[in-house]
A and B are shown apart, each in its own frame.
Chain A
């Protein structure tokens, strides 16, 4: 019996189980470390959840207070001046978290017990979770994520805000665990060995920015697993062909992503060429009579969808005129050599966490990416001469698919930024492409790096140490994450 258990624990499934447990537990620990409302736009997303549950009759005309979102009394650092629910405003004041937004040199005021100085007033549950101020400061009304989280909020509505808020954060940790599991499945299905797939899932589990995001209340924590699920559907379809199961995964993930955040529309752009490619393989396109109509119809459909999406998001128009001069202006304002390197915010850096490590780590990662790129260069040259393919990296169709996913997100985010730049006319606050926007393609990004390193090692006749190299990278990522958690996050909020 014990032997069987040990055998199971040594199997890829057993090791994956340890990884998922490790990820979930450290995420819950991380969640506990972060003070309430400290995540990215977290108070706004939590307010959205509360607003969805607010009964129409809760605030009558007399009780409603009209106040613009950025009124004279508004202060960026003071959550009680935002058009949030009474419960959020009062909790922010009582828990003293505003001090963390405005006075980075102070900590909150602690008591000498396990309860904060004003915790009793928060757990008394006497403030109403209603938005008296109108219009409410919310992040849309229709995101699938907010609707699911509102379900959790409703189930535990009898509990105080600390229970409800932190349970929704734990839900984010569960979604992150799902994303790590999916990343393992993507790597495994695309052809990496069990160990290499575990390493990839581990790299994602310990990527500092990914970890930080999956402690937050934010719709991206549903968007990212949806992207990963789409990728899994894609690699399954590439491996097994187009069947009902794979199509259901692809369509379900795409619908889930679109219902969560507009970024999900990027998957439509990836799905259509993939769908037509798989359809072409399924039907007999060897017959010349089919080819022309097939390509014409697929080209027409793809072009129509692209035009439709362009009109939907940019048609009003920030991109419809002066495209070339506007693009030149945008690129001259945003493109620099430093922008070509991986952003430190993508790997976990914050405004306040800039130190020697966060300056150096992105440079080390850039060196690894350049090595991977060299591997790709060699790979393409080798393909020209029809040289055989190294066995330990995925086939080219998977690599091509990951590249498309990664490029589509890169292009989508940058086009949206370009449109915003045109609208505003300058690179002012609120614009830009912070690293977190690119997290949905993290699995594709890391798989491409792994594949590139594989090609390079194959070229150097060092294929046998491929997994050792990957594990060394994983150890470095784990160390970086552990450093970040203990020597940056704890330091920031408690020391």
Chain B
């Protein structure tokens, strides 16, 4: 049962398209949340059509690309929508806007606002405004977790124009790097932490490369044709024809 060239190409194409799709998706998923900000579930604040939320924050790195929020309600349902606008510091000039989405994995009600990355974000203050819409009857609000502000100068959370002193949204900025290569270096750095020397840095890079290289060789040689062999069964079953089918 040797493969025809067409069959080989078809299988390689199938394999290649899967690998391409998976790594394209991986490229979209790459994100480095500011791990120094530990989200906490303490108090909560309600957002409703009449009471939007507004929160200021400072980006600590360049290439700000998304914001993570912790919702208290069990995720964002299909019939509701949280629209997010990211403004400059003055809360007047919009930079990015879109809808809040649930995180791709079950992450304890983590919701994410993705946007095209802002290259020179480091040290800049931003203002994020969230508004809530409900399409059909049902619950008319959504709750977000809030945390205690780090210090007196922490930008306060504003709900429907009213300032909530000492309280900030459970919000975490997420960054990327300028290039994919830099992203992979940073990922390597994170994975290397709390690992022994043989799983760190260059060793980690080497083992990751080999874990992709050997499967490639395996499929290459598996598909490029093992030598024709008599099926091992044939010596055991003399009454069967080598047609691979049952006679009618």
Q: Which residue of B lies closest to A21 (CB)?
A: B214
CA distance A463 to B247 in the complex (A): 12
Residues of B within 8 A of A412 (CB): none
Q: Which of B11, B39, B213, B217 has most A Cβ within 10 Å?
A: B217
Residues of B within 8 A of A22 (CB): 211, 214-215, 217-218
The reply on B15 being an interface residue by CB < 8 A is: yes
Partner of A475, one of B14, B39, B200: B14
The reply on B7 being an interface residue by CB < 8 A is: yes
Assess whether A466 is in contact with B232, with CB atoms less than 8 Å apart: no
Partner of B31, one of A28, A492, A495: A495
Partner of B39, one of A106, A471, A490: A106
Contacting A at CB under 8 A, from B216-237, are: 217-219, 221-227, 229, 231-234, 236-237
Assess whether A12 is in contact with B226, with CB atoms less than 8 Å apart: yes
Residues of B within 8 A of A9 (CB): 221
B46-54, B76-84, B101-109 - the one binding chain A: B101-109
Residues of A within 8 A of B122 (CB): none
CA distance A478 to B241 in the complex (A): 33
A109-117, A292-300, A307-315 - the one binding chain B: A109-117
Residues of B within 8 A of A159 (CB): 196
In whole Å, how far is A357's beta carbon from the nearest beta carbon of chain B?
A: 10
Assess whether B222 is in contact with A25, with CB atoms less than 8 Å apart: no
Q: Which residue of A lies closest to B7 (CB)?
A: A468
CA distance A462 to B15 in the complex (A): 23
Q: Which residue of A lies closest to B26 (CB)?
A: A486
Partner of B211, one of A10, A28, A471: A28
Assess whether B227 is in contact with A495, with CB atoms less than 8 Å apart: no
Assess whether A28 is in contact with B207, with CB atoms less than 8 Å apart: yes
Chain A window 369-396, contacts with chain B (Cβ cutoff 8 Å), 1 for yes, 0 for no = 0000000000000100001111111110
The reply on A194 being an interface residue by CB < 8 A is: yes
Q: Which residue of B lies closest to A19 (CB)?
A: B218
Residues of B within 8 A of A483 (CB): 22, 25
Q: Which residue of B lies closest to A116 (CB)?
A: B193
The reply on B135 being an interface residue by CB < 8 A is: no
Contacting A at CB under 8 A, from B151-169, are: none
Chain A window 184-208, contacts with chain B (Cβ cutoff 8 Å), 1 for yes, 0 for no = 0000100111110011001000000
Assess whether A191 is in contact with B233, with CB atoms less than 8 Å apart: yes
Residues of A within 8 A of B30 (CB): 495
In whole Å, how far is B238's beta carbon from the nearest beta carbon of chain A?
A: 10
Q: Which residue of A lies closest to B206 (CB)?
A: A25
Assess whether A487 is in contact with B26, with CB atoms less than 8 Å apart: yes
Assess whether B223 is in contact with A193, with CB atoms less than 8 Å apart: no
Chain A window 1-41, contacts with chain B (Cβ cutoff 8 Å), 1 for yes, 0 for no = 00000000111101100110110011011111101100000
Assess whether A388 is in contact with B231, with CB atoms less than 8 Å apart: no
The reply on B136 being an interface residue by CB < 8 A is: no
In whole Å, how far is B39's beta carbon from the nearest beta carbon of chain A?
A: 6
- We find that the number of chain A residues with CB closer than 8 angstroms to chain B is 95
Whether A109 touches B38, Cβ cut-off 8 Å, given contacts A104-B107, A191-B233, is yes
Whether A391 touches B233, Cβ cut-off 8 Å, given contacts A22-B215, A353-B105, A458-B245, is yes
Residues of B within 8 A of A490 (CB): 26, 29, 187
Main secondary structure, interface of A, reads helix
CA distance A468 to B244 in the complex (A): 14
The reply on B45 being an interface residue by CB < 8 A is: no
Partner of B104, one of A36, A199, A355: A355
Chain B window 17-40, contacts with chain A (Cβ cutoff 8 Å), 1 for yes, 0 for no = 011001101100111110110110
Residues of B within 8 A of A33 (CB): 191
Q: Which residue of B lies closest to A356 (CB)?
A: B104
Whether A391 touches B26, Cβ cut-off 8 Å, given contacts A29-B208, A106-B39, A112-B189, is no
Residues of B within 8 A of A202 (CB): 218, 222
Q: Which residue of A lies closest to B4 (CB)?
A: A468
Residues of A within 8 A of B245 (CB): 390, 458-459, 461-463
Chain A window 217-248, contacts with chain B (Cβ cutoff 8 Å), 1 for yes, 0 for no = 00000000000000000000000000000000
Whether A389 touches B237, Cβ cut-off 8 Å, given contacts A195-B222, A202-B218, A463-B243, is yes
Q: Which of B33, B190, B200 has most A Cβ within 10 Å?
A: B190
In whole Å, how far is B53's beta carbon from the nearest beta carbon of chain A?
A: 19
In whole Å, how far is A285's beta carbon from the nearest beta carbon of chain B?
A: 22
Chain A window 104-126, contacts with chain B (Cβ cutoff 8 Å), 1 for yes, 0 for no = 11111111111110010010000
The reply on A163 being an interface residue by CB < 8 A is: yes
Residues of B within 8 A of A172 (CB): none
The reply on A472 being an interface residue by CB < 8 A is: yes
Partner of B18, one of A119, A198, A475: A475
CA distance A103 to B38 in the complex (A): 9
Beyond A19-B214, A195-B222, A390-B244, 11 additional pairs, beta carbon < 8 A: A11-B226, A12-B226, A14-B221, A36-B194, A104-B107, A162-B195, A191-B236, A388-B240, A457-B244, A472-B11, A486-B23
Task: List 25 A-B residue pairs with CB atoms under 8 Å apart, sorted by A's residue number.
Answer: A10-B227, A18-B217, A29-B210, A32-B191, A105-B103, A105-B108, A105-B109, A107-B35, A191-B233, A193-B232, A195-B1, A195-B226, A354-B105, A355-B104, A388-B239, A391-B231, A392-B244, A457-B244, A463-B245, A464-B1, A466-B244, A467-B1, A483-B25, A487-B29, A490-B26
